[in-house]
Amino acid sequence: MARDPRYDVLFTPMKIGPKIAKNRFYQVPHCNAMGYTEHHGDIAHRQTKAEGGWAVISTEQCSIHPTSCAAPYGERRLWNDDHVTQLRDWNETMHKFDVLTAVELAHNGLGFSNRKTKEYPLGPSSFPVHYNWDPIMGREMDKADIREFRRWQVDAAKRAVNAGFDIVYVYAGHDIALPQHFLSPHTNHRTDEYGGSVENRARLIGEMLEDTKEAVGDRAAVALRLAVDEMRGSHGITWQEEGQAVVEMFADLPDLWDVNISDWSHDSSTSRFSPEGFQEPYVAFVKKKTKKPVVSVGRFTSPDTMVSQIQRGITDFIGAARPSIADPFLPKKIEEGRNEDIRECIGCNICVASENTGAIFRCTQNPAAGEEWRRGWHPEKIEKKASDNGVLIVGAGPAGLECARALGQRGYTVHLVDSRPEIGGRVTLESKLPGLAAWGRVRDYRRIQIEKMKNVEVHTGTTLSAKDVLDYGAEVVVVATGAGWRRDGVSYSNAEPIPGWNGKRVYTPDDVMSGKELEGPIVVFDDDHYYLGGVIAEKLRAAGHEVTIVTPLMELSRWTEYTLEMEKIMNRVLSMGIELICNHNIVSIGDNSLELANVYYGEKRQHLGYRSLVLTTSRMPNDKLYKELAADPAKLKAAGIKKLARIGDCVAASTIQFAVFEGHRFARELDAEPKGDVPYKLEHVRLERVRA
């Protein structure tokens, strides 16, 4: 199909300094937990975006000096000429696809504590290091330090063009960049020409722009990535005042403005807290102040929103990090008139959590993310079927849906059966909770793809017994029956059931999501520590109930620190009038009260007024069907079943991302040759030339 003419503007070229971008799709700099430590993996991941039609492909942040070391995170480096070889390889791969390449030269200043290089962090003033609460202060830079820093930027810029980059960044964003630390009154307390007024605090950015432009000449464009609002109110940069002043100050000096808000938790806000295009109110002024092109972000997934942004003069380029991960082929699908095939980002930030936990790259929507090189998975291509075996999948949750979709793409005949009246499993239930509507995209994308496949049939409202499965006639049986929330309170803090757990007023999140009416006041006990405890409390509070959350940890939803949501969640529940009791475990459950104990010193106290208790603790696999089938191999053989497997939460309850991944993995590996104990290639990268 040809693309809709409404989207033609998205495919018009645009000049960026001495370079021309072939369209308006711009993959902004973003980390992917690979960098220089997973060199081939990083190249292969970004190569899929080059294939998928993005006009500009950027690196993650690229450190320019050992005083800016992000370890243990594996961000790229351009400390010396030895690092050029890796990045030249990176550029040669991308340039095969007629794209422009961009490098985000970065010095993290007060952002990181240089754990690996053991160098003092640098800053405009003596101020605490921001990231991970390391107990170290940054060293205040003197004039000689500033001159050295400017030299490091110049040297790195020259290395960047020697490595083949088309766009070189001056990076002043996300609250982890030294130029932003100079610009912000929050971190800059100087009294010399680099402190005080906004003109003085912006001086270093201006010098870096001029230095970098001189260093690269006409071989590359120079971009400025600037946080125009720090979301600190009067204590920081705001777009209405100093953000505008800086843009006016340097209006036409950079070849490209890459604008956003900081810190990272605001710039990469999840769909639970921010809609598509949420940064528009902060960045809309920029194009009115400059003649140079502008790129901005906002978790864009809708082509109509993209066109609107350009036509209304908000931006020139559609910047994307997370949407480009969820679907590297987003531009090509729009160009080919296949909008319904876009794997829309759900804004869950599991990709961000990968970086923050040092894990290999992950994406809920795109199970191939991070696996392009090491497993050889392409996000759009898959091996054709290796047999004529028919497949029965029991359970149409995220694992079963992805398994059916991928097996159908391979050409297998698939029957997908679910006991519920609608597909989606936990995704369908959770997407009806406050703030999680976008998570329904996990179901919807797969439903749309499956509906196109004549070789895949879906049957809902059908419960299969073990005998039904044996009689079904499929050669391959996959059990994907999910998991259910425990009713006894067993989890991290309680290895044994909580006394009184089987009372009439004790519920689980499954009860709440199924629409069961609860009587208030309500206590939600959160010993899961991801998102659901807080969301359940929000739902009950919005229904008018008095709600209290009890958690054994110091904060609510502790794991969401990795998805950049924890502070927002705490603010949300407290602003709704939900009482929060931290550092307490439930010792016993009575008819009208809960006995709580402080987790640190064991003091017990009564919490009165409870009429309903929701235990959000842990989940148990719904694996009864699988165990019945697996218990009698002779019956399986007699029924012609060659392979029985279970996938997703039915094996071990985890995130939606993991369920999708395991469904995809099974589909990829069905009838394939075993790969041994290590199912993927390992990176062996020579990082630097060994010197005598």
* Catalytic machinery residues: 31, 171, 174, 267
Go through 575-598 and write b for each residue having 16 or more CB atoms within 10 A of its CB, e for each that does not.
eeebebbbbbbbbebeeeebbbbe
CA dihedral 678, 683, 684, 690 (to 10 degrees): -150
Phi, psi of 593 (to 5 degrees): -150, 160
Helices 84-95 and 143-163, axial angle in degrees (round to 10)? 40
Say how far apart CA 134 and CA 115 lie, in whole Å.
9
Q: Which stretches of 96-202 are DSSP H helices?
A: 143-163, 178-183, 198-201
SS (H, E, C) 87-106: HHHHHHHHHCCCCEEEEEEE
Please compute, for residue 144, the number of CA atoms within 13 A of its CA located in the half-sphere on the CB side.
0
- Cα 334 to its chain centre, rounded Å, is 23
Instruction: List CB contacts of 555: < 8 A, sequence separation 6 or more.
Output: 561, 566, 570, 582
AA letter at 481: T
Report yes or no: 538 and 434 within 8 Å, Cβ to Cβ.
yes
Strand arrangement, sheet containing 593-598: 584-589, 593-598, 604-608
CA distance 102 to 104: 7
Residue linked to tokens 């199912």: 679
What is the rounded CA–CA span in Å between residue 539 and residue 430? 11
Phi, psi of 82 (to 5 degrees): -65, -25
From CA 599, how far away is CA 621, in angstroms rounded? Answer: 28
Residue in the structure block whose two tokens are 């040092």:
358
Are 560 and 531 in contact by the 8 Å Cβ rule? The answer is: yes
DSSP for 28-63, written as a single string: -----S-TTTTHHHHHHHHHHHHHTT-SEEEEEEEE
Q: How far apart are CA 33 and CA 371, in angstroms?
A: 12
